[in-house]
Amino acid sequence: MAGGRCGPLLTTLLAASVVALAATEGPEQAVLPAEQSRVQPMTASNWTLVMEGEWMLKFYAPWCPSCQQTDSEWETFAKNGETLQISVGKVDVIQEPGLSGRFFVTTLPAFFHAKDGIFRRYRGPGIFEDLQNYILEKKWQSVEPLTGWKSPASLTMSGMAGLFSISGKIWHLHNYFTVTLGIPAWCSYVFFVIATLLFGLLMGLILVIISECFYVPLPRNLSEHSEQNQKSEEAHRAEQLQDAEEEKDDSNEEENKDSLVDDEEEKEDLGDEDEAEEEEEEDNLPGGMDEEKSEVSDQGPLREGSVTQEEPHSPDTEVAEDALRQRKSQNASKGP
Q: What is the pTM of this model?
A: 0.50
Residue 49 per-residue DSSP state: G
State how far the Cα of 52 lies from the Cα of 309, in Å rounded to an integer: 137
Which of 45-54, 160-169, 219-228, 305-314 reaches the highest mean pLDDT?
A: 45-54
Query: Count of H helices and E strands in the chain?
Result: 10, 5
Q: Which of 51-60, 205-214, 222-231, 282-291 has the lowest mean pLDDT?
A: 282-291
Residues 6 or more apart whose Cβ sits within 8 Å of residue 309: none
- pLDDT exceeds cutoff 80 at 18: no
Active-site annotation holder among 6, 64, 187, 213: 64
Is residue 67 flagged as an active site residue? yes
> Would you say residue 281 has pLDDT above 80?
no
- Residue 320, CA distances (Å) to 292, 294, 327 in order: 15, 20, 11
Told to judge if 64 belongs to the known catalytic residues of this protein, a careful annotator would answer yes
SS3 state at 197? helix
Superfamily of domain 40-150: Glutaredoxin (3.40.30.10)
Give 6's strand partners. Answer: none
Helix axes 220-299, 315-334, angle to 10 degrees: 140
Q: Please return the burial class of 69, using the count of CB atoms within 10 Å of its CB with bins 0-12, 13-18 and 19+.
A: exposed
Domains of the chain by residue range: 40-150, 157-214
Q: State whether residue 96 is helix, strand or coil.
A: coil
Return the higher-pLDDT residue of 136 and 230.
136
